[in-house]
Amino acid sequence: MRCWAWQRCSMIIGMRNRLVHGYDVIDFDLLWDTVTDDLPPLIAALQEIVRKKE
């Protein structure tokens, strides 16, 4: 896996940990930006990976 992909995975894990464990206060603006801006390209990339494996 490329370096940038590992960095993105690390960011995804970090976001999950904040949501699940409630570290400090959840920044809902950041969460919304993640859902609307970052999630669609991630889904598309994952769908492409799955398509190539089939």
Does position 27 have pLDDT exceeding 70, yes or no? yes
Residue 36's pLDDT is 93
pLDDT over 70 percentage in the chain: 85
Residue 2's pLDDT is 62
Task: Please give the mean pLDDT across all residues of the chain.
Answer: 84
Structural domain spans, the chain: 25-54
The pTM for the full model equals 0.62
Does position 15 have pLDDT exceeding 80, yes or no? yes
Q: What is the 3-state secondary structure (H, E, C) of the chain?
A: CCHHHHHHHHHHHHHHHHHHHCCCCCCHHHHHHHHHHHHHHHHHHHHHHHHHHC
